[in-house]
A and B are shown apart, each in its own frame.
Chain A
Amino acid sequence: MRFVIDVGKCIDCGGCWVACKDINDVETGIERIRIVTLNEGKTGEKSVPIQCFHCDHPACMLVCPQEAITKRDDGIVLVNQDKCVGCRYCLWACPYGTPQFKKMGSVMEKCTYCVERIDSGLRPACGGFCATKAIFVGKSASEADAKASSIGAARVKGPTNPDAAYKGVTL
């Protein structure tokens, strides 16, 4: 389990979004993390950060005709943009709309779990900077598990078995 998100703490400030852009040099128009606001302006309004869930059974990986998508031993799902041909099968397959394409013909882009940061012992950008600590990103599965159980976050259910837990919203 990787992402542990407490929706009751998300204020939609965009800190994660900007940190992700800045640290990963993400192009204008591409969002590796999104904050989706439900019921804006009404009782029950919630802001829900969503990034690639690095699923246990990544649908994107299954359908990719180029074998451009791989899953590392530690669970991180990565796309090799040199192999990607921009066919967008992954976008159709992903239940969460994660894959991002700049325009027709562009190669796929998505959250890399800040893999270079993880490999050098740093926390991924979104969790490292989150203004209210609504987003926790484990450096390891066990760290994330402990966090999820301490706040009572439930793992997202779905056929791909997403590697994320949320508190305050059922996805």
Chain B
Amino acid sequence: MATKPDSIVGCSNIKMSRRTFSKLTAIGTAAALGGIGLSKYDHTIDKLIEQASATTSSGVNHIKTICSHCALGCGLLGKVENGVLTGIEPWEDHPINAGSLCSKGAAIREIVNSETRLKYPMKKSGGKWHRISWEEALDEIAAKMKDIKATDGPDSIFYLGSAKVTNEECYLFRKFAAFNGTNNVDHQARICHSTTVAGMANTWSFGAMTNSWNDMRHSKLIFFCGENAAASHPVAMQHILEGKARGAKFIVADPRFTKSAALADMYVRFRPGTDIPFIWGICNEIVKNNWHDTDFIEKRTYGFDQWWDVVKDYTPEVVEDITWVKADTIRELAYEWAHTSPACICWAMGATQHTVGTNNIRSFACLELLTGNVGKSGGGCNAFRGHDNVQGATDMCVLSHWLPSYYGLTEGSWKHWVGVWNEHAPITYDNMKAEFAEYNGKSLMHVPGLTVSRWYEGVLDSSVAQPKPVKMVFVWGHSLNSITEMKRMKEAMEKVDLVVGIDPHATVASSLADRPDGIIVLPASTVFEKDGSVSNSARQVQWRNRLIDPLYESKSDYWIMKELATRLGFGPHFTYNSPEDVLREINRGANVIMMRESPERIKRQQEHSSDFSIEDCQAKSGPCKGEYWGLPWPCWNDEHPGTPLLYRNDIPIAEGGSEFRTRFRGKDSTAGNPVSDDGISMLGAGYAHPEGYDEMNSDGTPGSGWKYDLDSDWKGIIAENKCPSGAGKARFMAWNLPDPIPVHREPIETPRPDLIDKYPTYDDVDDHFRVKCLFKTIQDERKNLVDTYPIILSSGRQVEHMGGGAETRSCKYLVELQPENYVEINPGLASEIGARHWDYVWVETLRGRIKVRAYVTERVNRETAFIPYHWAGWMEGKSYEDRYPSGTAELALGDSVNIICVDGYDRSTNMQETKACLCKIYKV
């Protein structure tokens, strides 16, 4: 276990135990508590217990709910006594985690009751924080919004949304931005898996994890490339290790020898930023030996020959020179991939957060196509999503380039959703259009907005491609320290008129900007203080029950949105009777992913969780018999069991089968005849229809009607063993991407300047999500940077902390385990710079320097260093603790690695690069 301090500043000890409380309440009463003088104990939960005992009725309840930390979606029971969350218990028959939790899940009681939560709306003025009322706060924010919209236009407000709220709130947040007339809305998915979505969706139509957590029990090869589940998705390891115990080979490829690598059969170290040549080397060897699945390639894929034309050059020897991986190891891996099936590939931010992130994921998907592993139990592309509801927030498209359920920004898409919204309260397409500004003669309704990764350039860059720069930002459920270029962001936060932070904690939104006024922070309730649905990485939709009423003055994100909407004049569109009603509206419109999981069905599943098998998440008996847990989308109608494995087409759609969509339509395509850009048919072999068929309308005629028809239940078409979205081909060559076939491109800051000429990065882009994005210019400028900054810097996860860490760094248990930020350095480097374990060192890049502890370990090699990214509250060695509203700074603060990460972004999605830049390290 990691480092622990002798004492934790800011933690008061619990004197009155919760066990004692339980005993007392069992016999008794507020009087009993009063009698022992409980009030003298200065601890949140004791105060809560005291208040609750005085005011609420007694009783102990164990309430089923879902962990708020990662995208596993583990279930747990909240133990609620007299309205206070006093403990948690295992939910033993939950089909995903069977009662298990990691350190973060086990800390939920403490996290919810955290003393450092933001308790009241606070406003900074005259250099000080003042408590204000909700009325005052909401009035002021709404007035400012109106003001900015009138003078600068709707695009001058940026809505930074969240993957940590319910599906219903995510959906309403996207709708909220729309009603405010802008696409300047985005959330964490941009910087966690936007490249996964772009990479997979462009290969085979959907961008989500194809299989599931439990399905890895059936794999024979589990291949990690840029994933460290032992730290980031701990309970997933339960299924992976079960698969291993049943004979699967578990291989971890990573620049760092991780805790996951410790449990693997084989570990392969490769250089950060060289995933594509690494994977192409494996593919090269497979094809040269004729080990590829020619039948699958022939029937269900497009572009193999063009692809091979690129990949043939990545021989194991060429790859060895680029990646650090020996040619013989590449050959061994190729052999494993070709001779072990089913095989799945798993990744997270190790693969996604790169300037070539989309291409990395494309290469993984191509490996799965090449070996015919996708669409099989035990195979597939398992993108391990991060936050608990980041799949849901992505599905609801809290994103600047889509409308909910992956509808683009076209007129047809807007009309679809305005039609759905109009059923709730009257609105027309023209009303909606009138809310949007124009730029360069075009309505910005159809133009993707700024992104999370570079929103601050929308403030600072005067040439931003919209009428006026951004003047106000909502930081709504997002820790800003997870975004790179923090110094630029700080500058932007000092320049805007108003920063509004909305979160259970004050977070960096309150403390980063050095300004005396112009910040308002509002206390959002935690997810355990409201009801709603949440989608895990495996597309499983679960209902999360509220455990307790919102603590302090906190309010649900839904309530805050509704109050603002009312003040802005569109309240009826945000007024619902219940979260269930919002989910029904989503069910009605979200056709592209067929998210028709009704609240009734997912709640029924929750009630009957014991009927579901841990082997395949299917109910084997009871009222849900045949259904898959969470009704993984696409879920076509009220009788459909959900689709646990995407693209599995050896079973009927009615039983959960699935096809590659006929999504890719070159210029000469017609309804019924989708063709590639070079005229090849994109119909692929489908279940019971070997010749394939195009997507269709509800009457079965070819067309895209399935995306827009609100009333069809598709039962007739499904009875004919057809999938309404067609049976098409997956693509080795994605003709619409900047690199139709991925090629190696050296990171912007590379330790191998000699490779830049052969493998250069992209050319600069003038308008990349409204702002300029430099690639080649900065790579050339920094060509010889390695001479002065010789170490490769990567960032990543600690198991005890999550995301920006505002919640976990506020939990005394997790802080006891991980009290300070550090840089992992190899003993060789440590002795060279004269640093001993736990000495303070500076890690410096061209962006600045941060002060962290030296963690001397052989996890990293001599050439690389690693820093966890969950830390905030310091800026270049200086604590910002005094800038938070009093008592709201997290228990543990530290310098953020994102102060120094590189200013590089994915060419397709604007994903930030966090895994490959150059630094130097020296003692403080």
Contacts and interface: CB of A to CB of B under 8 A. Distances in A.
Contacts of A34: 1
Given A21-B813, A43-B267, A46-B262, A28 B8 contact: yes
Contacts of A13: 102-103, 230-231, 234, 799
Given A15-B101, A41-B860, A47-B259, 7 more contacts: A11-B260, A12-B259, A14-B799, A17-B1, A37-B1, A128-B89, A133-B98
A105 interface: no
B719 interface: no
Contacts of A41: 257, 857-860
Interface residues of B, number: 53
A129 B1 contact: no
Interface in A29-73: 29, 34-37, 40-43, 45-47
B19 to A, nearest CB: 7
Contacts of B261: 45
A8 B817 contact: no
B101 A129 contact: yes
Interface of B: 1, 6-8, 11, 13-14, 17-19, 87-90, 97-107, 109-110, 229-231, 234-235, 237-238, 241, 257, 259-263, 267, 799-800, 812-814, 816-817, 857-860
B69 to A, nearest CB: 11
Nearest to A16: B106
Contacts of A131: 97, 100-102, 234-235, 237-238
Nearest to B816: A28
A132 B858 contact: no
A74 interface: no
A123 B90 CA distance: 9
Given A41-B257, A132-B235, A11 B263 contact: yes
Q: Which among A14, A45, A47, A123 has the highest number of chain B CB atoms within 10 Å?
A: A14
Q: Which among B1, B98, B813 has the highest number of chain A CB atoms within 10 Å?
A: B1
Contact of A28 (B11, B109, B235): B11
B214 to A, nearest CB: 14
Interface string A105-145: 00000000000100000110000111111000000000000
A23 interface: yes
A122 B62 CA distance: 14
A25 interface: yes
A41 B855 CA distance: 12
B234 A22 contact: no
A9 B100 CA distance: 13
Interface in A56-110: none
A128 B109 CA distance: 16
A15 B858 contact: no
A31 to B, nearest CB: 8
A133 to B, nearest CB: 6
B237 A11 contact: yes
A35 B107 contact: no
B259 A11 contact: yes
Contacts of B860: 41
B118 to A, nearest CB: 23
A28 B262 contact: no
Contact of A15 (B103, B262, B267, B816): B103
A22 B241 contact: no
Contact of B7 (A22, A29, A35, A130): A29
9 contacts: A9-B237, A14-B799, A14-B817, A17-B813, A27-B13, A42-B858, A45-B259, A47-B259, A131-B100
Contact of A25 (B8, B14, B97, B816): B14
Contacts of A37: 1
A11 B102 CA distance: 10
A129 B235 CA distance: 10
A154 interface: no
B87 to A, nearest CB: 7
A36 B1 CA distance: 6
A47 B813 contact: no
Contacts of B103: 13-15, 17-18
A24 to B, nearest CB: 8
Contacts of B107: 18, 22
Nearest to A10: B263
A164 B7 CA distance: 31
Contacts of B231: 13
Contacts of A25: 14, 17-19
A128 B99 contact: yes
Contacts of B87: 22-23
Contacts of A169: none
Q: Which among A11, A25, A46, A129 has the highest number of chain B CB atoms within 10 Å?
A: A11
A8 B101 contact: no
A132 B106 contact: no
A132 B257 contact: no
B813 A130 contact: no
Contact of B230 (A12, A19, A40): A12
Contacts of A42: 257, 858
Contacts of B99: 128-129
A28 B257 contact: no
Given A11-B237, A40-B857, A129 B799 contact: no
Q: What are the 6 closest A-B residue pairs judged by CB atoms, nearest first?
A: A41-B858, A14-B103, A45-B262, A11-B230, A41-B859, A13-B234
Contact of A133 (B1, B19, B88, B238): B238
A97 to B, nearest CB: 14
A46 B237 CA distance: 15
Nearest to B105: A15
Contacts of B235: 131-132
Contacts of A36: 1
Contact of B813 (A22, A123, A133): A22
Contacts of B18: 25
A14 B1 contact: yes
B20 to A, nearest CB: 9
